Structure 1
Amino acid sequence: MYYSADIGVIGGSGLYELSTDVKKIDVDTPYGNPSDQISLVKVGDKTVAFLPRHGKDHTLNPSEINYRANIFALKSLGVKAIISPCCVGSLKFEMKPGDFVISDQFINMTSGRKDTFFEKPKVNHISSAHPYDQNLRALALESGKECGITVHDGGTVIIINGPRFSTVAESRMFAIMGADVVNMTQYPEGYLCMEQDIPVVNIALVTDYDAGLEGHPNISPVTNDAVLAVLKENEEKVKALIFKLIDKLEV
C-alpha cells in the first residue's frame, strides 16, 4: 500500500509521539532502517509523518542514529517540509532553560557519521551557507510568539558526537567559536534535508547551561536529570508550537 505525508516531524529526546491516534508504518530505504516506525497523523487537513529520532524507547545514542535512512524515509513519503525539534544546552546567559531558539546556523564538530547521499557514481557539491529555511523560521517564530513562548530569532548550534556532555574547556571553546547552543543530532540531519531538497526548520528547546557559565558560579553543569526535568515541564509547549506551525504551513 502506498502512503504519503505532507510534513515530516522528527522528534527528539522527550518527544516520542505527537498523538495517540496514529497509523504506524514501516518504511524501507536503501540506507537501512529508520530509527523506528513512522506514525502518520492527521492535523487539520494535513498528514504528518512523525519519526522519533532516538527510537520510541530512546535506544539510539546520537552517533548510532541512521540519519540518511530517516531523511530518505520521509522523502519517500513525499513530505514538503521537515520540522526538527531538539534539545540544546545554552552557551549564553540570555538563552535560558525553557526558552526556544529557532536556529539559523550550525557548526559541525561530529566525526564518523554517514553524512551525505552523494556517493559514487553521483558525487555533487551543494552550498550549505544557509542550512535552515528562512520562511519556515519566520513561521516558527510567529508560532512561538502566538503560543506565548519565549523564542530567540536565530542562533548557531554546534553539534558534538555525544553521548557525553562537554567539559568546561570545550564549552568555553564553543562559545569563543561563535556558537550559542550545543546539540548532538542536528548534523547531519539538517544538511541531509538540503541534499534531498526538503526545507527544514530547527526548533531548539534550551534545557540547560551545558558545562555551566563562567562568571556565574551559581549555574551548575548539566545533568541528565536536570535535562529530563526541563523536558517534562516544556513538553506541551513543544507540541503546541509544532501544531501551530503545522497549521500555518502551506504544502
Structure 2
Amino acid sequence: MLGHYPPKHCSRPFGNCNSGNSHREPYVAAHNMIMSHAAAVDNYKRNYQATQGGSIGIVIAMKWYEPLTNSTEDILAARQALSFEVDWFLDPLFFGDYPREMREMLSSNLPKFTSEEKRLLQNKADFIGVNHYTAIYAKDCVSSPCDLKSYEGNALVQAVGERDGVAIGRPTAFHGYYDVPEGMELIVKYVSQRYENTPVYVTENGYSQSSDNSTEDLINDVGRVNYLQGYLTCISSAVR
C-alpha cells in the first residue's frame, strides 16, 4: 500500500510510485493470500491430517489499538484499525467474508468471494498464531485531517504513540513500538472471543534493543527483563 517493498506499487495519498493503486491492489494481494491459505488447509485436511495427526493454522501480526480520546470518532477508529488488521484476514476464514467495516468503507475495491472460494473457506483454521509486540493509540481521520502515509492509513486511522505528551508505554528501540503489556492480554482475549475459542498461540513477541548500546547495557538488559515479565504476566491473566 505504501510502496516501500517490491513491486513498489502505490498511489497517493499513501505513497508516490510510478504505478499502482493503493486503494485496490493491497486487497487483491491479500485476497490471493487468503485463498492460498484456504487451499493449503483444504489439501491438508483432506489428504494428510487424518494420518499425520497434525494441526494447521495461520499467523497474523497484530497491534492492539486504544482510542486516542474518549470521543465516539476515536473509539470507532480503534475498532476500524483492528478490523483492517485482524478481522481482514481472520473473518473470511471463520465467517466466510470480510468484516462489515471494510466492506462499507472500501465498496467495490474489496474483492468478493466466489461460491468456489467460499467452499474452500469452510475449512476453519485449527489454531491462530498471534504476533504481537505493542499497543498504540488510534486517531480518527474521517472527521479531522491526518497523515495517511502509515500502515493504518487504509482504515482512515492515524497511529499515535502519545496522548497529551505522555507515551502509551515505555518506548523501545524500534520506532513506534512501546512496552504495553496490557495489550497482550486484550489482543489474545479479543481473538479468542471473536473466533469461537479457537486455540491461540503467541508466535512472536519480543523487546527491541538498540545495537548502539554498550556491552554492559546489553548484558544488564533490565528493559528486556521488565518487558518479558510484564507480557508474561498479562498472557497469564488472559489464560486465567
TM-score by length of 1: 0.29
Higher share of residues assigned strand: 1
Structure number with bigger Rg: 2
TM-score by length of 2: 0.30
Higher share of residues assigned helix: 2
